[in-house]
Chain A
Amino acid sequence: ETGVTQTPRHLVMGMTNKKSLKCEQHLGHNAMYWYKQSAKKPLELMFVYSLEERVENNSVPSRFSPECPNSSHLFLHLHTLQPEDSALYLCASSQELGQGGNQPQHFGDGTRLSIL
């Protein structure tokens, strides 16, 4: 039980498909994050939102498009993905935007994405 819900849990898509990942947090937090977790690699931060405004975008390819319509919901829109994009995509939230790593983050269980 995490308070952060991600759907779907598993997604298989072709390289030409368009799909969206959804994240919802029930914790009343103001900051939300998207991470990519690939095998044998450290967790990669993709996007950061604070009060629905994007505050960080870590050189993520444009085939990933985030959307934060309100402080409880975060989406990751996917289109024309590559096989190397297969990974576990994790959403997280924190009470406030972290300064100096002072905010614990609460994670969802992720979406396991496979690109055919």
Chain B
Amino acid sequence: SQQGEEDPQALSIQEGENATMNCSYKTSINNLQWYRQNSGRGLVHLILIRSNEREKHSGRLRVTLDTSKKSSSLLITASRAADTASYFCATDQAGTALIFGKGTTLSVSS
């Protein structure tokens, strides 16, 4: 069953602009993760945020988590062409599984 759902499905911006992607989920979570996937490659882990955290930073990435709204956002500041990729959120469910959303496809043009 799908837990996380990203929004928008696709996003096109210019280099230097900020990109914001959102993830909504249905049931309570313990942790939420964000991944990036470049075309033809595997997923790369970006950030893990715990349910008791509200915000986390890693370089140009900023992730927020609002458990009351069951949502998270990923902000990429000062986007570069190399940020062009699909971005997925993943949440836990009972047991060991991570449930991934369908992803947001980000295109950054120079």
- Which A residues form the contact surface with B (CB < 8 A)? 2, 4, 6, 31, 40-43, 45, 48, 50, 55-56, 58, 90, 92, 97-102, 104-110
Contact = CB atoms under 8 A, between A and B. Distances in A.
A101 B33 CA distance: 8
Interface of B is mostly: strand
A99 B95 CA distance: 6
B45 A101 contact: no
A16 B19 CA distance: 46
A99 B110 CA distance: 41
Given A90-B43, A100-B30, A42 B99 contact: yes
Contact residue range for chain B? Answer: 20 to 34
B93 to A, nearest CB: 8
Q: Classify the secondary structure of A's interface with B.
A: loop
Minimum-distance CB pairs A-B, first 6: A101-B92, A100-B30, A107-B42, A43-B100, A101-B31, A104-B45
B45 A105 contact: yes
A3 to B, nearest CB: 11
B97 A109 contact: no
Contacts, number: 72
Interface of B: 2, 29-33, 40-45, 48, 50, 88, 90-92, 95-103
A33 B97 CA distance: 10
B97 A41 contact: no
B96 A108 contact: no
Contact of A90 (B42, B48, B91, B92): B42
25 contacts: A2-B44, A4-B42, A31-B96, A40-B102, A41-B102, A42-B103, A48-B97, A50-B96, A90-B42, A98-B92, A101-B32, A101-B33, A101-B90, A101-B91, A101-B92, A101-B98, A102-B30, A104-B33, A104-B48, A105-B43, A105-B45, A105-B98, A107-B42, A108-B42, A110-B42
